[in-house]
Structure 1
Amino acid sequence: MKKILMVLTSVSEIGDTGEKTGYNVAEAAHPWKVFKDSGHFVDFASIQGGQPPRDDVDSEDPIQVAFTQDEATRAGLYNTARVDVVDPEQYDAVYLVGGHGAMWDFPDSEGLQKLVASVYNAGGVVGAVCHGPAGLVNVELANGIHLVNGRTVAAFTNDEEVAAGKDKVIPFFLADRLEEQGATHVSADVFEEKVVVDERLVTGQNPASAAGVAKEMEKLLAEVIHHEKAEEQHEAEALRAQKDAEKAAKKADNDAQH
C-alpha cells in the first residue's frame, strides 16, 4: 500500500464572471477508484485548506456518486489540509485534480510547488490531469530546472478552452505556458483521451483522461513496490546466510574443542 495525496483547487468562481467552479468531480472520482481498488491510501489537500468547492456531480456516473457518498472521502474533503502544511515525506505520489479554478490558484502556490518538487525529488510519482498541470507551472526541482523542462506532457488544450467558451476568461493558455517552460505539449482531438508518461511524471489532457492517468501512476507505484519487496527479500536472504554462517562457525568451534 502506498499513500497518494490528491490536491484540489480552492477557487470557486471562474475569474470575475460569477460562474461557479471548483475541482472537477470526475477527475477526482475516477482516479480515487483506481487508487482505492489497488489498495492504496488516498488523502486530500487543497490550496487554502478546509472544504474545497466542486463542480457539478454527474448523477448518472456511478463512480462520481460513490465518491461523493463514501464516508471516508466525505470526511477527508470536509476539512482538507492546506498544501503548505502538508508533510511531503508522508506521500509516495501526488495527483493534481483539474477544474477551471486550478488555473487561478495552482500556478502561484509556493506550497504546492514545494510539495510537488519534494515528492518528485524523493523518487515519488507526480500526476496531473486537465487543468491540474497548472500546478506543474513554476515547479523547480532540486537541480534548479523546471519539472516540465524537456518533458512531454498533456493538458487541457487551447482548442478545448475555445470549445468550452473559456478562452477569453482564463488567465493564460495552459498548453502554451507549459511549452514556455520547456515542455513538449502533445494532444488528442478535442475532449478525446490522451495520457502521457515521462519518467515519473504522468499527465492527462481532459476529464476523459483522468482514470488513465491514475492507471499509469499505479503502474509506476507497482514497480516501486516490486523493487522494495525484492530488496526486502535480498536483505532477508543475506541475514539468513549470516545466521547460518554463525551457526556453522559455532558448531565447528565446538567440534574443535571436543
Structure 2
Amino acid sequence: MAPKKVLVVLTSHDKIDKINKPSGWYLPEFAHPWKVLSDKNVEFTVVSPKGGAAPLDPSSVELFKQDPVSVSFLENQKSLWENTLPLKQFIGRSGDFDALFYPGGHGPMFDLVDDADSIKLIEEFYSAGKVVAAVCHGTIALVNAKQGNGEPLLKGKEVTGFTNAEEEAVQLTSAMPFLLEDRVKAVGANFVQTDAFGNKVVVDGTLITGQNPASATELGEAIAKAIAA
C-alpha cells in the first residue's frame, strides 16, 4: 500500500509586530504530530507562504528543551522547515495528499489568517473530503475559508484552538491583532475548550483541531486514525 501523505503549512511570519518579539511556528506542535505520523510511515511535504526557511519560534525551543520528541525533531529534521516550498505551488493538488495540517505558533495570526493561497488550499482539501487539521494558533488559518455554499467553513462546526484565557496567561493579549477564540466564534463555530494548557482535540467530520501544545500528540493520533481508512 502506498504511504499516506500530509501537506504541512508553516507560517512565514517571524515576529509579533506590536512588541517586535521573535515568533514563528511552535516546535512541539509540529514535532509531536510528525513523530506520531512518521512512525506510521506517513510522508510529509512542508510549504509556507514565502517558501524557504520557515521561522521557528525561539521561545518554543527554550520552553521544550526537556521534551525528548521536540529536541530530537529539532536536531534531526531541520530540512523540513529550512527548505519549505511555496504553498501556491500546491493549489489544485489536493488529490496528491491525504491531509492538510497547520501547526501553530503566533506567526499564523499575522500571515496565514488572510493568505489567499492558503485559504484556497483549505477550501480545496475540505471540499474534496480530505482531512483538514490545525493545532493551537494554527486554527486561525481556517476562519476565512468558505464552504461551497459561501458560508464560513467553520460555521456550525465544533472547533478548538488557543483560548482567550491562554493568551492572557502568556501575557500577549494586547500584542495580538485579534484573539483566535473571538474570531472562531465570530464565523459561527462552536468553540470548545478544556482548562488552560490542558489537552483537547476535537474531531468534526474531516475537520480536526487541537487546543494548544499539550494537544499535539493526540492531534497527530487523530490525523493518523482519520487517514488510515
Q: TM-score range by the shorter chain?
A: over 0.9
* RMSD between aligned residues: 1.2
Distance 1:202 1:54 in 2: 23
Secondary structure of 2:219 counterpart: helix
Q: Does residue 84 of structure 1 match 2:88? A: yes
Tell whether the 8 Å contact from 2:7 to 2:101 is kept in structure 1 after alignment.
yes
1:169 partner letter: A
Shift of 1:47: 1.8
Aligned partner of 1:247 in structure 2 is none
Deviations 1:30-73 (A, max 9, x none): 00001101111011111211101102323321111221232xx3
Tell whether the 8 Å contact from 1:193 to 1:209 is kept in structure 2 after alignment.
yes
Give TM-score, length-normalised by structure 2: 0.93
Distance 1:5 1:11 in 2: 19
Shift of 1:6: 1.2
Tell whether the 8 Å contact from 1:84 to 1:110 is kept in structure 2 after alignment.
no
Identify which of structures 1 and 2 has the higher relative contact order when contacts are C-alpha pairs closer than 8 Å and 6+ apart: 2
Shift of 1:158: 0.5
Q: Which runs of 5+ in 2 are unaligned?
A: none
Shift of 1:85: 1.6
Q: Which runs of 5+ in 1 are unaligned?
A: 224-258
Percent of counterpart pairs with the same letter?
Answer: 41
Which structure has the larger Rg? Answer: 1
Aligned partner of 1:239 in structure 2 is none
Aligned partner of 1:169 in structure 2 is 175
Distance 1:59 1:176 in 2: 31
1:185-196 correspondence runs (5 A): 185-196=191-202
Tell whether the 8 Å contact from 2:94 to 2:128 is kept in structure 1 after alignment.
no
Give aligned pairs, total. 221
2:41 partner letter: G
Tell whether the 8 Å contact from 1:35 to 1:42 is kept in structure 2 after alignment.
no
Aligned partner of 2:32 in structure 1 is 30
Aligned partner of 1:42 in structure 2 is 44
1:95-134 correspondence runs (5 A): 95-134=101-140
Distance 1:146 1:213 in 2: 23
Secondary structure of 1:131 counterpart: helix
Q: Does residue 158 of structure 1 match 2:164? A: yes
Give TM-score, length-normalised by structure 1: 0.83
Distance 1:199 1:139 in 2: 16
Aligned partner of 2:226 in structure 1 is 220
- The one of 99, 119, 144 aligned to 1:138: 144
